């Protein structure tokens, strides 16, 4: 189960912008007529007022030629034709007011009219192509959202006895999903979670993420230990991911009430924010290579256990978070220094905590991220869950 809460966390996916389209395509199609007419009508009004105020010795009516191209940005073709016709009527009236209907000025007058008609015809074609392209983009966005829900299925705010909140951002243009992944499952061996980062971007990275998530969803239920889960993930990556590619991952297991088990596969170390507000970076005592590279090393990944009780929050992220910086320059985001205070000030509400951390991350990065980023916060619900705990 991966992804964001559709309502609680919006806008989360692609929050770095509206898929870099320059505008929200669906909103443009659905905007009210008066909103879409606003810009061309303002231009017509402004040019008319200026031309009248300048007197009949100054010819400003030719500025109305900007109306058709401007209308092509927001109007449907039929609406554009009607708006352009209104603009042409104003052009004729203002031209007569400025005296261009005189014999010696008629060539300029006719030339202006021909230019206006040509611009109007071209603008109708542009508007038609824009509508087609916009509808295609809306359709692509809908398909991407369906793929997001299929691949990165949103978990509930509570999985087993673990409360969680997440943010997922794809920095790719026109994409909702990327190479970062996370999942949380309630298994017979306790709640288990994974967060990972696929090398590279694009469709190949999404396919690799799907391989890892599919293997995790099976192995987490079957394997009694995280070592076995990692072994199954490695086997799936070796079978289905192109040679030379790899995926960093961190596996988490909540089997006992007062501890958490971690297994490192080349991923960003997690941050433990204790109930007293202090933060501890959980560097692995025995780091291991990313998934897909185990054949290059001897031995295998070794899990380790750290205390984790009520009030503690585990902060998991991908390198898109810790390597975020302003326009690709300056200092990386200091998660270990900033997150503890932001989390502890949220009063145990992990949703509020992840919102605070993500907002602070965006401020540090200047309002947008240049890489895929996933942020996952996990906290144990108060009270025993396991028999005899």
Instruction: Report the candidate in 213, 214, 206 with the shortest Cα–Cα distance to residue 245.
Output: 206
Give the pLDDT of residue 256.
73
Give the pLDDT of residue 194.
97
Rounded distance between C-alpha atoms, residue 75 and residue 29, angstroms: 9
Q: What is the C-alpha radius of gyration for the chain, rounded to an integer number of angstroms?
A: 29
**Encoded tokens for 227:** 């070592």
Give all domains of the chain, ordered by start, each with its CATH number. Answer: 31-145 (no CATH), 155-380 (3.60.40.10)
Is residue 357 within 8 A of residue 293, CB to CB? The reply is no
**Encoded tokens for 336:** 């270990």
Give the pLDDT of residue 377.
97
Q: Dmax of the chain from CA atoms?
A: 104
**Taking the chain (389 residues) in consecutive chunks of 10 residues, what is each chunk's mean pLDDT?**
39 32 47 84 92 85 91 91 93 85 74 91 94 85 69 82 90 64 94 92 81 94 96 95 91 89 96 94 95 91 94 95 84 94 92 95 89 92 50
299 burial level (CB within 10 Å; 0-12, 13-18, 19+): exposed
Please give the model's pTM, rounded to 2 decimal places: 0.69
Q: Quick check: helix, strand or coil at residue 158?
A: strand
Is residue 151 within 8 A of residue 205, CB to CB? The reply is no
* 96 sits in which H/E element: helix 77-97
Rounded distance between C-alpha atoms, residue 306 and residue 258, angstroms: 9
Rounded distance between C-alpha atoms, residue 38 and residue 62, angstroms: 20
Rounded distance between C-alpha atoms, residue 379 and residue 389, angstroms: 17
Instruction: Report the candidate in 281, 380, 284, 285 with the shortest Cα–Cα distance to residue 340.
Output: 281
φ and ψ at residue 13, rounded to 5 degrees = -80, 130
């Amino acid at each position: 189960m991966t992804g964001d809460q559709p309502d609680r966390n919006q806008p989360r996916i692609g929050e770095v912008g509206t898929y870099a389209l320059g505008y929200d395509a669906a909103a443009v199609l659905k905007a009210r007529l008066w909103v879409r007419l606003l810009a061309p009508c303002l231009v017509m009004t402004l040019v008319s007022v200026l031309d009248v105020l300048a007197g009949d010795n100054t010819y400003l009516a030719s500025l109305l030629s900007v109306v058709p191209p401007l209308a092509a940005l927001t109007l449907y073709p039929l609406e554009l034709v009607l708006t352009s016709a209104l603009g042409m009527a104003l052009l004729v009236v203002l031209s007569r007011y400025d005296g261009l209907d005189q014999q010696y000025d008629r060539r300029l007058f006719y030339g202006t009219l021909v230019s206006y008609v040509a611009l109007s015809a071209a603008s109708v074609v542009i508007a038609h192509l824009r509508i087609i392209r916009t509808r295609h983009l809306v359709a692509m966005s809908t398909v991407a959202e369906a793929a997001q829900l299929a691949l990165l299925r949103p978990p509930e705010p509570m999985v087993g006895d673990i409360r969680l909140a997440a943010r997922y951002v794809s920095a790719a243009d026109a994409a909702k999903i990327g190479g970062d992944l996370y999942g949380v499952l309630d298994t017979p061996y306790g709640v288990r979670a994974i967060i990972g980062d696929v090398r590279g971007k694009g469709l190949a990275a999404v396919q690799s993420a799907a391989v890892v998530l599919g293997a995790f969803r099976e192995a987490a239920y079957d394997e009694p230990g995280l070592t076995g889960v990692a072994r199954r993930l490695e086997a799936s990556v070796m079978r289905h991911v192109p040679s030379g590619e790899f995926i960093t991952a961190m596996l988490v297991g909540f089997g006992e009430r007062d501890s958490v088990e971690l297994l490192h596969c080349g991923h960003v170390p997690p941050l433990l924010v204790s109930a007293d507000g202090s933060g501890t970076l959980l560097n692995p005592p025995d780091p291991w290579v990313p998934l897909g590279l185990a054949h290059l090393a001897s031995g295998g990944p070794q899990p380790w256990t750290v205390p984790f009780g009520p009030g503690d929050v585990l902060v998991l992220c991908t390198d898109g978070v810790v390597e975020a910086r302003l326009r690709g320059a300056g200092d990386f985001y200091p998660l270990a220094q900033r997150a503890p205070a932001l989390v502890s000030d949220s009063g145990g509400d992990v949703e509020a905590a992840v919102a605070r951390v993500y907002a602070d991350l965006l401020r540090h990065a200047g309002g947008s991220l240049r890489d895929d980023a996933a942020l996952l916060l996990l906290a144990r619900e108060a009270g025993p869950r396991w028999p005899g705990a």
